Amino acid sequence: MGYGIKLTEAQWNELDRVRFTTDSKAVFRNCLIILMSDSRQTIAAIARHLGCGTDTVARVRRLYRHGGVAALQPGTSPGRTSRATPAYRKALAKAVETCPLKLGYGFSTWSAGRLAQHLARVTGIHYSDDQLRRILRQERFSFQRPKHTLKGKRDETAYLKAQKQLARLKKTPSRIRMARR
């Protein structure tokens, strides 16, 4: 029971082709398990070499015996489908890439709460701030704190003039006269 699977040259080539053309780590590992099983390695040795459990190696070998290479593809995970439909994700991307001021809001940067409220109003699907951040990460958006400056709110010419005066004062040596009491 502990020793492998005997592969033909055609089966070996097919596993090797699938292993090097897949993007899935699980499929790569599963193909490698079967290929290593052909070399008469034990389940424990394969598990130790690949850093997985012996149950995983036994399960993959059983799947291959019953279903061939097609059975090495991981199945869909159980659970309900996400409420973040493709339409929701499209609305999310559109909102993130649009300045809130252009959408009629009185602020210039999105926060997770503001974005969640906007998307709830637009799509009818409400998410908490944390869930929205998770979806933003899945959509390859980064969520960062904005750097607030007074640029645009201050008189820039007066600000630059004050900076020049300050620089000039720092350059001139101070003349402090010491007086005795």
Which tokens belong to 131? Answer: 């869930």
Q: Which residue has the tokens 């394969």?
A: 46
**Cα 104 to Cα 151: distance, rounded to the nearest angstrom:** 22
| 170 has a pLDDT exceeding 70 | yes
pLDDT digits (tens, 9 = 90+) for 9-63: 999 999 999 999 999 999 999 999 999 998 878 899 999 999 999 999 999 999 9
Q: What 8-state DSSP symbol labels residue 101?
A: G
Q: Where are the domains positioned within the chain? A: 9-72, 86-138
For residue 97, the model assigns a pLDDT of 93
* CA–CA gap between residue 94 and residue 85 (Å, rounded): 14
What average pLDDT does the chain have?
A: 86
At 172, list the tokens.
Answer: 């001139």
Q: Percentage of the chain with pLDDT > 90?
A: 59
